[in-house]
A and B are shown apart, each in its own frame.
Chain A
Amino acid sequence: MSRTPLDTVEHAAATPDVELPWAELGLKKDEYERIVEILGRRPTGAELAMYSVMWSEHCSYKSSKVHLRQFGEKAPQSDALLVGIGENAGVVDVGQGYAVTFKVESHNHPSYVEPYQGAATGVGGIVRDIIAMGARPVAVVDPLRFGAADHPDTKRVLPGVVAGIGGYGNCLGLPNIGGEVVFDACYQGNPLVNAGAIGVMRHEDIHLAKASGAGNKVVLYGARTGGDGIGGASILASETFDDAKPSKRPAVQVGDPFQEKLLIECTLEAFKEKLVVGIQDLGAAGLSCATSELASNGSGGMRVTLDDVPLRDSTLSPEEILMSESQERMCAVVEPEKVDRFLEICEKWDVIATVIGEVTDGDRLEIYWHGGKIVDVDPRTVAHEGPVYERPYARPEWQDALQADDANKLPRPETSEELKDQVLKLVSSPNQASKKWITSQYDHFVQGNTVLAQPEDSGMIRVDEESGLGVAIATDGNGRYAKLDPYAGAQLALAEAYRNVATTGAKPLAVSDCLNFGSPEDPAVMWQFAEAVRGLADACLQLGTPVTGGNVSLYNQTGEAAIHPTPVVAVLGVIDDVARRTPVAFQEEGQLLYLLGDTREEFGGSAWSQLVHDHLGGLPPQVDLERERLLGEILISASRDGMIDSAHDLSDGGLIQAVVESSLLGGKGARLVVPDGFDAFTFLFSESAGRALVAVPRSEEVRFNDMCGARGLPVARIGVVDGDAIELQGEFALSLEELRKAHEETIPALLA
């Protein structure tokens, strides 16, 4: 029990001189002064707790907001967009009355501290965002980045992260269908654990996070509230209110996927019976976020009795209850006459549900504790009117030198033997090697709708069993490219994800992004961020794929060393009939191999330059978005009309990486010929964008060539699917057996 008097609104007004630990809670002096100005008095402890978490970088986007506006300002006209930025997740129309919601988020910092729980709760959080939109979650994807593959700490972090993602996602019954695993020393100490999820619903089922209708009840349901996930609150609690309590709270939340599975089923059942007016999940900032966002997005105010919140630990202070990030909780706004039925459904699923407040006709968020009013704020000032910073940014001095250090001038293999060695070295390197050891820890069959999963170019899920309507998702990012040129790097990430979706036969519709950067207080990092956002917004406009939402993760740095700027882009696409999807694997011997697009001498930021020369310099590959669009159209038409049997996007590692993957997956070799005008090295290793490898049945050769010719897409016949080796005429041959060993044994050897 508190020994000091309860810090009510009244008490705060009467004791203006009480010092509050705003600095320990991460607030700046001017931010604290602004809170005092907004309230016209000092905040209560509870109010301070709410403002401090909601005005944190993570919740308020205070450093990134001024740049992120471009995603709205430059948004392309899109008939597909049903709900845009600002809600829990964007919603896209995929036809036949279906809507799809998807989003990518980061859980970087917690995953470094506690890999298993950090990664697990990352999955849990993104899935609740999807449920909160009214959708049934149907798949997850996980773009991951770790330090050097052979660094001892990677062996601590990676297996934990993978087990956490699997442990949570598998238990929820969500197929894991895509993502990436990238190793680079720049992520040592700052692994990037991004998590994406997709949900499907009917148009009429879209739900929004708003509390409207005075008298409607606010229901908190799911797990009890505990002391986990409280960052600064422990300071608040121990210094100001009560020092007799345990002060060390785990800052990383602990996940309970079983509870979340129940939450999914019970929420969907409540949606089905139309019991829910508004809904919000409890993630970062917990109840502070849910109550202030629901209230500020609705028409009225809200009154909450904090004593009614079910607790796991009865000693929690009101500040801690407001800041707790205990997982697996949701908040719904329900009309009074429907509350009983709502509670009944929760009981059916053994989910604890409690009415904790109601919507009022005022415009204040009022929170009570032990009969005293401890919060009385305008919820908009908490949720939406936080500080906005115009952080200084400047192109770093080293950028010119970095770009001048041309990778195209690096020594290249001089003999066939060297070329062959470098091919083997490439496909067995941790970044290019098979990630089966990782992905086999994820369930990709559950729900019975998985058409494609990693290592395919995009994950694909059937949405409608009758019509075969499906959606595809790919996530991509290349921090090395972005380091060389953040504007181009962000565009290349989008281009690659767009291409990956089109390669499987789906039409790209919309984008979500997870922007992982260093400290915004470093002008160089801020410049990288500003450039990346500008590049991505410009490219989305040109490709006609709006950004529907996403997440920013800053402060990914240790000391002065920031990670490579790493914008990760997810592209969602739609396919009318999943039976027309195009897989990566070679299907039949004798089919002709074509290289689509232009191949240039482009090695800046390439896998080859990193692997062979440990080099990062020069310029990333050229961006040509019109070419990406054309390539996409050709791939989609060819898939729809049955002109290609397999296709693979070309990206890091170049053509040879793609051929090896398609060969190994199909168990069929290839004979390749270097086309006129190319040298073998550039042919195999260049990372020029806007390219794909396709296998064309002989019967379709003329039709396919005519289509590419008529539409102006450069196409070169480079070989044939054949045999049990990959042979480059006049240079070398590598047996599939040797390649499989090289490609598949690396990761288990490092991590198992």
Chain B
Amino acid sequence: MTARIGVVTFPGSLDDRDTQRAIRLAGAEPVALWHKDKDLKQVDAVVLPGGFSYGDYLRAGAISRFSPVMGTVIEQAKSGLPVLGICNGFQVLTEAHLLPGAMLGNDHLHFICRDQKLRVENAETSWTGDYAVGQEIHIPLKNMDGRYVADEYTLDKLEAEGRVAFRYVDFNPNGSLRDIAGITNEAGNVVGLMPHPEHAVEPLIGSGRTDGLPFFTSILKKLVGA
């Protein structure tokens, strides 16, 4: 018995197949979900992958947020469905108000692709159980609009509630406030981050590290209690 984890493909999604591979490598069953389809095929969790859905036209994630599949995702996330948003998926989650704040263009105005050092700040969400608080990991980052912003009140609240899940270490690659790389909702079932854990799951490929695999093993353990 394993978990079925859905990966949504929006028009312009790029890392959907990579995310399916990461789920498979973690031992779970990836299930392809289509943006026009309201049906989540009874998956146990959902990943919104990276990419440029709808070309990032208007605002990153702004159009995808209204796709039929998101209606169901939003509804079920509110009743506990684990949802992970990676990069563009994180942008969709903020646009959908499942997570607070917003993403602006990188402060240096360039696309940036690098192997990024992060610190795990919350190891109690559905997606981070296999990490330890304070653990430093390297996860590839690649984005144009990765600057996390929110008002001071929200930021203070996130900090106070321990909802900053990941923070950039040594180098803030995009000007994100308080070095925030990823956050979670209050219940801990919805997590969004800009770096790409699905590109750090095999020793030879990409960054050559496997620091991202625990995202997918964490959720698997959470779901099947393995």
Contact = CB atoms under 8 A, between A and B. Distances in A.
B204 A441 contact: no
Interface in B89-148: 108, 110-114, 140, 142, 144
A558 interface: no
Given A256-B55, A258-B57, A448-B199, A441 B15 contact: no
A349 B205 CA distance: 30
A170 B111 contact: yes
B198 A448 contact: yes
Contact of A171 (B52, B108, B204): B52
B21 interface: yes
Among B11, B22, B54, max chain A CB count under 10 A is at B11
Nearest to B201: A448
B114 A440 contact: yes
B207 interface: yes
Contacts of A173: 14-15, 51
Contacts of B198: 448
Contacts of A446: 14-15, 18, 50, 142, 199
Contacts of B50: 446
A171 to B, nearest CB: 4
A448 B111 CA distance: 19
Given A258-B54, A448-B205, A167 B17 contact: no
Interface in A152-173: 163, 166-167, 170-173
A257 interface: yes
B55 A578 contact: no
A745 B33 CA distance: 45
A448 B199 CA distance: 6
Considering residues A349, A445, A449, A581, which has the most beta carbons from chain B within 10 angstroms of its beta carbon?
A: A445
Interface in B34-57: 50-52, 54-57
B206 interface: yes
A96 to B, nearest CB: 18
Contacts of A441: 110-113
Interface in A426-481: 439-451, 462, 465
A152 B45 CA distance: 53
Contacts of A442: 111, 113
A612 interface: no
A258 B56 CA distance: 9
Given A258-B54, A578-B204, A443 B18 contact: no
Given A262-B11, A440-B112, A170 B206 contact: no
B196 interface: yes
Contacts of A439: 113
A460 to B, nearest CB: 10
Contacts of A462: 204-205
A261 interface: yes
Interface string A317-349: 000000000000000000000000000000001
A38 interface: no
B27 interface: no
Contact of B110 (A163, A171, A444): A163
A448 B18 contact: yes
Contact of B205 (A163, A257, A449, A752): A449
Interface in A128-172: 163, 166-167, 170-172
Interface residues of B, number: 33
A579 interface: yes
B142 A170 contact: yes
Contacts of A170: 52, 111, 142, 144
Interface residues of A, number: 34
A10 interface: no
B68 interface: no
A418 to B, nearest CB: 37
Nearest to B14: A173
B80 interface: no
Nearest to B206: A445
B55 A443 contact: no
B111 to A, nearest CB: 5
A256 B11 CA distance: 13
B113 A171 contact: no
Interface string A252-290: 000011110110000000000000000000000000000
Q: Helix, strand, loop or mixed for chain B's interface?
A: loop
B12 interface: yes
A448 B21 contact: yes
A257 to B, nearest CB: 7
A624 interface: no
B210 to A, nearest CB: 13
A451 B204 contact: yes
A443 B205 contact: no
Contacts of A581: 204
A350 interface: yes
Nearest to B24: A465
Given A262-B11, A462-B205, A578-B204, A445 B142 contact: yes
Contacts of B14: 171-173, 261, 446
A349 B11 contact: yes
A680 B188 CA distance: 63
Given A443-B111, A445-B207, A171 B21 contact: no
Contacts of B15: 173, 446, 448
A261 B113 contact: no
A258 B52 contact: yes
B142 A261 contact: no
Nearest to B20: A448
Nearest to A262: B11
A578 B114 CA distance: 22
Contacts of B201: 448
Interface string B8-31: 000110110110011000000000
Interface in B187-209: 196, 198-199, 201-202, 204-207
B18 A258 contact: no
Contacts of B207: 445
Nearest to A167: B111
B114 A448 contact: no
A151 to B, nearest CB: 21
Contacts of B22: 448
Interface in B137-193: 140, 142, 144
A542 to B, nearest CB: 34
B46 to A, nearest CB: 19
Contacts of B52: 170-171, 257-258, 261
Contact of B113 (A349, A444, A449, A752): A444
A443 B11 contact: no
Nearest to A174: B14
B206 to A, nearest CB: 5
Given A170-B111, A440-B114, A441-B111, A258 B206 contact: no
Contacts of B56: 171, 258
Contacts of B108: 752
Interface of A: 163, 166-167, 170-173, 256-259, 261-262, 349-350, 439-451, 462, 465, 578-579, 581, 752
29 contacts: A163-B110, A166-B111, A170-B144, A171-B14, A171-B55, A171-B56, A172-B14, A173-B14, A257-B52, A257-B55, A258-B12, A258-B55, A258-B56, A258-B57, A261-B11, A261-B14, A350-B11, A441-B111, A441-B113, A442-B111, A445-B207, A446-B14, A446-B18, A448-B199, A448-B201, A449-B205, A451-B205, A578-B204, A581-B204
4 closest A-B pairs (Cβ-Cβ)?
Answer: A258-B55, A173-B14, A448-B18, A445-B199
Given A257-B52, A447-B18, 11 more contacts: A166-B111, A167-B111, A171-B14, A171-B55, A261-B55, A262-B12, A439-B113, A441-B113, A445-B199, A446-B15, A447-B17
